[in-house]
Amino acid sequence: MRQDYLEIRGLRVSFDGFVAVDGVDLTVLQGDLRFLIGPNGAGKTTLVDAVTGLAAASGSAKFDGTELLGQKEHQIARAGVGRTFQTASVFEQLTVLQNLDIAAGSQRRRRSLLRARATVPDSVQLAMETTGLTTLRDRPAAELSHGQKQWLEIGMLLVQNATVLFLDEPVAGMSAEEREQTGELLRRVRRDHVVVVVEHDMEFLRAYADSVTVLAAGKVLAEGTYAQVQADPRVQEIYLGPGSRGPGHQAVH
Ligand SMILES: Nc1ncnc2c1ncn2[C@@H]1O[C@H](COP(=O)(O)OP(=O)(O)OP(=O)(O)O)[C@@H](O)[C@H]1O
């Protein structure tokens, strides 16, 4: 079976002379649930912004042979690269199904979109099953829990045929049960997606990360399994250990 991958080489982003991402190389394979961690200001969000067309960057970021840098946001989305934001950007007054329909670019006219429908496109049905939202399909998004909104956002990426998923702190603010369900959801989607999770929650990371990349001051500080990076003295010093600027010391998002 073909295995998709994202390949970032020499990625560099600067803001008025301040280098936020400083020559990052990162390869993420389909099936490998990758977590991207590091202190506040390490450059994690800026890296995601660069690859998804929100920040100008130099170097290279390729997916499926396509160079993403220099392309517009919508072109990058069409190339199969999607992201979520910490604050879910779903349409609150529309139902789960309607949100997914819109994300799928359904051609149905607005009036028919707002009417209950007899059949649901396969891609939308599959996304509801994958995210566990099938029984909530006719609920307005406003009535969903924080966790369910995050899953809906992931579902919206799936129906857009995103193959590379960047997820920004998906479990922030979730209950313990929702976190576990999110972990299981990520395990399901990693099988046929390239998944990069930006996260500060170390318990979640320990439970679900296949591999971890640690960024610090715009550079890759360490990479490996959770156990490997956790044991790395440089990571201890900068992020995980006592006295570091690590997760125990993060501002609450
Ligand atoms: N638009 C911008 N203009 C100027 N500086 C910026 C801009 N965006 C980010 N930065 C700076 O770039 C650095 C990296 O920020 P970034 O948000 O990528 O870090 P992060 O690792 O995602 O941090 P956090 O964990 O707090 O989200 C920070 O010093 C930040 O202040």
Query: Residue of the nearest CA to atom 8 in ligand 1?
Result: 46
The answer to whether residues 6 and 164 touch, using CB atoms and an 8 Å cutoff, is yes
Instruction: Give me the pLDDT at residue 250, please.
Output: 45
Q: State the Cα–Cα distance between residues 67 and 251, nearest whole angstrom.
A: 35
CA of 212 from ligand 1 middle (Å) equals 20
The answer to whether residues 121 and 80 touch, using CB atoms and an 8 Å cutoff, is no
Q: State the Cα–Cα distance between residues 218 and 230, nearest whole angstrom.
A: 19
Give the ligand 1 atom nearest the CA of 13. 12
Write out the E strands in the chain: 5-15, 18-29, 34-37, 58-63, 66-67, 81-83, 164-168, 194-198, 211-216, 219-224
CA of 102 from ligand 1 middle (Å) equals 31
Query: Residue of the nearest CA to atom 31 in ligand 1?
Result: 41
Instruction: Give me the pLDDT at residue 171, please.
Output: 93
pLDDT in tens, the chain (253 residues): 677 899 999 999 999 999 999 999 999 999 999 999 999 999 999 999 999 999 999 999 999 889 999 999 999 999 999 999 877 689 999 999 999 999 988 655 555 555 656 678 899 999 999 999 999 999 999 999 989 999 999 999 999 999 999 999 999 889 999 999 999 999 999 999 999 999 999 999 999 999 999 999 999 999 999 999 999 999 988 888 776 767 755 443 3
Q: CATH number, domain at 160?
A: 3.40.50.300
Mutate to test the pocket of ligand 1, among 35, 44, 86, 253 (most ligand atoms within 8 A of CB): 44
Instruction: Give me the pLDDT at residue 115, please.
Output: 60
Is 83 a pocket residue for ligand 1 (Cβ < 6 Å)?
Answer: no
ipTM of the complex: 0.96
Is 218 a pocket residue for ligand 1 (Cβ < 6 Å)?
Answer: no
- Helices 122-131 and 96-103 cross at an angle (nearest 10°) of 120
Give the ligand 1 atom nearest the CA of 218. 14
Q: State the Cα–Cα distance between residues 183 and 204, nearest whole angstrom.
A: 8
Instruction: Give me the pLDDT at residue 155, please.
Output: 96
Query: Residue of the nearest CA to atom 1 in ligand 1?
Result: 15
Number of domains the chain contains: 1
Which structural domain range is residue 49 located in? 5-249
